[in-house]
Amino acid sequence: MNGLTSKEATRIEEGLHAEHMLISKFGALANQAQDPECRRVLSGIQALHQRHYDILRRQVTSAGVQVGTTPGLRQASPGVSPTINF
């Protein structure tokens, strides 16, 4: 037993996917922002979501669950790092 039920693993993977999307969106918005203060705020929000992603990733790793093995969820493309850094 890996310490997580299949439902818990599914929810954590869903959280990983949601955080991944938010990291990408806020990173893109920060890159497009013209105002330095706006760029700083958006980058800060992106960093917050990166921390959330990292926490979820550690939870999955410590439970021995492989990300992307829960039925019905999309897997990351091969060769893509699970952590996004802008």
Residue 2's pLDDT band (cuts 50, 70, 90): low
Domain that holds residue 36: 7-63
Domain count, the chain: 1
Q: pLDDT tens-digit profile of 19-76?
A: 999 999 999 999 999 999 999 999 999 999 999 999 999 888 887 777 665 444 443 4
Residue 74 lies in a domain: no
Q: pLDDT tens-digit profile of 3-35?
A: 778 898 889 889 999 999 999 999 999 999 999
* pTM (predicted TM-score): 0.71
Residue 79 lies in a domain: no
H/E/C letters for each residue in the chain? CCCCCHHHHHHHHHHHHHHHHHHHHHHHHHHHCCCHHHHHHHHHHHHHHHHHHHHHHHHHHHHCCCCCCCCCCCCCCCCCCCCCCC
Residue 50 lies in a domain: yes
Residue 14 lies in a domain: yes
pLDDT (0 to 100) of residue 32: 98
Residue 72 lies in a domain: no
